[in-house]
Structures are given as C-alpha cells and as structure tokens.
Amino acid sequence: MNLNCKTLFVLDHTPYFGISSEEVSIDVRQSARVTVKKSLWTNAIESSIEYCRIVWDLFPVGGKLIRFIISDKAAHIVNTWDPHTQNMNHISNAMIMVGAPRNVPQTSEYTVIHGLRAAIEALAEATEFQKEYMQKHDRRVSNRGRVIVCTSARDNSSMNSLEKIFHQVLIQQNSISSSSKNDGLLNIDFCHLVIINLYPGTETLVTNRAYHEISSILGSEIHSYPSAKLPKLLMTLILRHYNLASTTVTNIPMKEEQNSSSSANYDVEIFHESTSHSVFVGAELPRSIKDGFDYETVTLKWCTPRSGNPEMQNCVAQNRITPVDVTSRPSSCLINFLLSGRSVLLEMPRKSGGKVTSHLLSAHGGEIFIHSLNTARSVLEDAPSISEGIGGKVANYRIPDFIQTALQQRLVPLKMKYPDENLGKVRAKIAKMTKYWPLTFNSTVVYNIRQYLEPILVLTQKEDLTEEEVLACQQCIYQLVGVEARHDLVLNNQRIKGNKKTEQYVLMWNELEVIVGLNGKSAGHKAILQCIRKVRSSQTSDANEKMEIDSALGGLRKMLDINETSVNILRSSPLSPTTPLDRHNKSLKHRATMSLYDIMMAKELANSNKRMDFSGRLATPDGQIAVLYPHLAAKEQNDIKL
C-alpha cells in the first residue's frame, strides 16, 4: 500500500492561530474595494481544502483517502475513512461548524499533541479496501500513510520534541494493535510526518529540514513558511506526494470580458499524473521553473482545433486533469469549452526543428483527460530512418552482429532439477559478451575490419582455447601487421589515408586488446594478449628508431641542400662548363641513403667550388701541367725572330 493512500491533516486550532497574518483586498462593487485580514487558521483551512480538491479531482474512485483532525483542548474528528465523507461538501460544512479559534489566553491545555495522538489512532484503523483485501486473500495487508501537521512552534527544540512524542505514540499504538484481537486495527508499517510551521511575520526561529528517517517506521521533514506562502508550499508538496506533473497551456485565444469584440491569449496551468510526460522517452519536453514556485511545468501551445475527429489519434497514455486556479476566468473558459464536447490539440517544439502535436485535451463522461499522443512512427509505416536519432542512419547500426549475438543465446527448454542454474550461466555469458559491444560502426574500428580478425573475434569467445586455436589467432595478428605495413587496411569500405591513419591503427590495437581481455582469462587468452602487446611494443621501438635516424640525416640533408644551391649557382654561369663534380652530385642526390664517406666527399668538393677554378687548368688535358702566362713566351719568340 502506498503512502498516498491514507493522508491525515492535523490542524492547530489553538488561540494563537486566530491572530491576523495578511491583508487581502476584495472587490465589493465595481468601484469599491474592502480590505480584510486573514488569520493563520483561515490560510491553513483554505490551503488544505484546495489540496483535497486536487486529489479528489484526479482520483475520484476512492483510492486516495484524506482525513481531517482539529486539535485545541482535545482532538476533533472531522471525517472518517468512509467514502461518503470523502468530499468537499462534508469537509466545508464541518469546518463551518468548528469555526475560528477562540480569542482566549493561550494555556497548556491548547496543544497540537491531542491531534497527533488521534491521527496515529486513525492511521491504525483499516479502510474498507483493506478489510476487503484481508477477507479475500486471508492475509495481512501493508499499512502505510502520511500525516501533515499545520502548527506553530517557538524554535527547533520544540519541533524535535514534537517528533519524539509522535514517535513514542506510534510505537505504543503498534504494540496495542499487535496485542488486539480487533481485525479493524492494523500495525503501522511506516508513517511519513510532514510538519509545517506557520508564522504571521517575516522572522522565525524554526528552520527548514529535509526529509530524514528517524526509525524504520517513521520519516520526518519540517517546513517553515509565512502563512501567506502556505498555498504555494502545498502545491509543491502535492506533486511529490502523488507523483503529479504540471502542464501550462499557452496562447489560449479568449474574448475579453470587458470588450467582447477583441480577444487576447491566456495561459492555464493544469495538474495530472506524471505518466503523461514520462511516456515520451528520449524527448526533451519544454520544461521551466514556474515563477514563485519550486516545481517544473511543461509548456505546451494551444493548437486550433481542426476539422475531423481528433479522438482517432494514436494515444499512449491517458490521465485526468484539474486546473490549478479553478476560480480564474481562463480556467473556467477552458473547462467549459472542453465539457461542451470540443477537443484541443497541444503542440511542443521538435528537437530537430518545427513542431509536433504531443497531447490532446478531451472530455469523456463529464471528466476531462489529457491524452499523450504517439509522436514516433507507427508500426504500419515503412522501416524508419534513424537519421534524427542517436546513432544516425540504420546502415550505421551493427544489425547483423546483433542478430548473430542473439542467435548464440538461444535456449532450449529442458526438464532439470534446478532450472535456474542454466539461466544463471546464460546471464553470466551475456553479461561477459556485452561488456564491450559498440552499437554503431562509427564507434568501432575492429568490427569494421572483421574480414582480417574473424578468427580472433570468434575463437576468443570460448572459455578455453586449444594450441591450434591460439596459433590461428597469433597468425591472424601477424597477418594484420603485414596489412598495416602495406597500408592496405580498409575501413567502412574506404581505404584509410591522411593524417588519421596512424590514429586509426592505434585505436585498432587498443580495441583488439580490450576485446581479447574481456572475453576470457585462460592461458590461451593470455598468450594472445601477450602476442598483441609484443607486436605493439616492437612497432613502437621501430618507430622511435626510425625517427632518430631520420632526424640525424635530416640535418645533413639540409647542409647538402645549401651546398647544392651554391653548386647550382656556379653551374648556371656561362663561364662554368660541366665537370665530373656535377655527375657526382647527381648520383648523391638520387640515393635514398648515403654513407659517411659520400657525405664527407660531397662536403669537401662543395668547399673547393666556392671560387672559380684557374682557366688554364680547365684548358689543359689531364696528366699535363698548365703553363702560366703562355702569351709571354709567344711574345719573346716573336722578339727573337725580329
């Protein structure tokens, strides 16, 4: 039995609750206003009755029962668990007979403890539903409930003493119920105590305290608020107590009361069960905190009723509604509009843009319901394209792998002495297989190249591996190393290239190591893991060594590039003929790697070419000595002849 099936209000009727707390202006005539003062008692009565109205509007069948107990010099029972006393007329008439607290001095005889004792005794009484259940099933029914106390205390110590007294009386009542032979008395399995401290001014010594469990049968929370804010507090609490939700219908077109020729847009807030919102799994409803309150409301826009029958919409949830401000003109107009047989569609913004019709307001048998419409595709339509969903297109999902995984877990019915043993093994196997199971191809590398890794992915799923199976997996790893060296790896039907190539290889080896490690802990699995790590470590060392050699040769190649530039300058001059040095430099240029001798020779030849060689040496054949100033020798011969 839920906590909200039995609720008791204990209202403080001591003389202190008769003092004034706030002033309210009331329109008597069109031009006259009267100011009246509300007492703590008036605020407590109005707010608690409004609490009951919302509960009984949403749960009229009788499953949610509420009782009132008034405490002054003694406890006064307002109504019982009888369904005939669970209505607004009975409570209102009883409160009129009780009247306001008397204006007498406050004495120790006036206390709220009388009401708390009566509330515990009432909570121990069995309701009609509980009696029928015990008679039908011949067993005890759970008995849980909630007690809401509206009182006023001096400080936190007074509140603590109030909780202790309530706890002691609760234990005493359970002992009485256990020893009693009366079937109408039940043990109280758990009670939720909500203490509301009301005060007229702006300051109090009582602080708020969140919910905490005092014992296994009692949990308590304290709220301290000015009496003027009690309606807002109870509206927030009722959403928690009965698992309700708030929806604000906006842009409702209504004609102005003063001028019927013009119209304006109004908003109306309604309460209903939270399932009207929770059925939209994954949808982001337009939620916002309501001004002046501590709860969220979902804002839905009025959609002008279209022709046709809106009740033929595909509905996934249906709940009763009740307006929050039942006396306001917009609420009255909306309720009358729906009770006249009309229906209203409500729409919300779609995540991908645009709007979608999400809810329908309609009346059935004099009661108004909110219908949650199906915003997803119907099963009668074609296969959906999940381009707007989480995983992208349907082709991106690993549907074939999922089918294969499901087929591997097929069970055959067997007559066994302990059938749960087989189920436990299968659950453990499925848990192991799905520890790492990417949903889409975009989130994995290994399963995109399954053609290279099929033996590893299939064989490592076994508990134990034979030597032949281990060798097959190791051979697959070495083949994958060769594919990586040749740069033939294909991912998603596209060859890996560009800057992401190295990153893809690293992800591939990391993912493969994770898959093998999760599949098993046998000696064969460890051997395969060791092989993967050995290959990865050798690749890392080779890459580091290659980087060191490349960096060393890079500096030398830069030096040669500078020298080759100077040689090219000389070669471009018309005074410099082609020499054997040019052919030597060309051969060095086309070599992939050079020895130290080649490097030193190239450097020496480059230094010798920094200035132009002697023209006589260039004109002298090899093996002969160049003659200096040959024209002088020719001049002397001419002089001798003369």
| Identical topology for domains 3-242 and 245-373 | no
Note whether 254 and 266 are within 8 A (CB): yes
Q: What is the mean pLDDT of residues 370-387?
A: 66
Place of tokens 């009670």: 191
Looking at residue 495, what is its pLDDT?
Answer: 44
Note whether 274 and 280 are within 8 A (CB): no
Give the Cα separation of 319 and 452 in Å (integer).
56
Q: Which of 4-13, 63-72, 617-626 has the lowest mean pLDDT?
A: 617-626
Token pair, residue 563, equals 């020298």
Which are the contacts of 218, defined by CB distance < 8 A and separation ≥ 6? Answer: 166, 167, 170, 190, 191, 193
Residue 89: pLDDT over 50: yes
Torsion angle, CA of 528/529/530/534, rounded to 10 degrees?
A: 100
Mean pLDDT of the chain: 80
Domain 3-242 of CATH type 3.40.50.410: yes
Which are the contacts of 480, defined by CB distance < 8 A and separation ≥ 6? Answer: 452, 453
Looking at residue 637, what is its pLDDT?
Answer: 66
Give the Cα separation of 614 and 121 in Å (integer).
127
- Crossing angle, helix 113-124 and helix 156-179, to 10 degrees? 30
Which of 568, 574, 555 lies closest to 609, judged by CA?
568
- Residue 167 CB: number of other CB atoms within 10 A? 17
Looking at residue 53, what is its pLDDT?
Answer: 94
Give the Cα separation of 313 and 357 in Å (integer).
10
Give the Cα separation of 196 and 221 in Å (integer).
9
**Using only C-alpha atoms, what is the Rg of the chain?**
45
CA 460 to chain centre: 35
Give the Cα separation of 542 and 536 in Å (integer).
10
Domain extent listing, the chain: 3-242, 245-373, 382-430, 444-613
Residue 384: pLDDT over 70: no
Of the pLDDT bands very low, low, confident and very high (cuts 50, 70, 90), residue 524 is confident
List pLDDT tens digits, range 466-505: 888 888 888 888 888 888 777 776 655 444 444 466 777 7
Note whether 161 and 155 are within 8 A (CB): no
Residue 149: pLDDT over 90: yes
DSSP state of 625: P
Of the pLDDT bands very low, low, confident and very high (cuts 50, 70, 90), residue 382 is low
Give the Cα separation of 356 and 27 in Å (integer).
43
List pLDDT tens digits, range 399-425: 888 888 888 877 777 666 665 667 777
List pLDDT tens digits, range 571-606: 443 333 444 444 444 444 444 456 667 777 777 777
3-class secondary-structure state, position 555: helix
Note whether 296 and 289 are within 8 A (CB): yes
pTM: 0.61
Place of tokens 């004495």: 107
Q: DSSP string covering 32-93, please? A: -EEEEEEEHHHHHHHHHHHHHHHHHHH-TTSSSEEEEEEESSSEEE---S-GGG-SHHHHHH
List pLDDT tens digits, range 287-335: 889 988 889 999 999 987 665 566 677 888 899 999 999 989 899 999 9
Domain 245-373 of CATH type 3.30.70: no
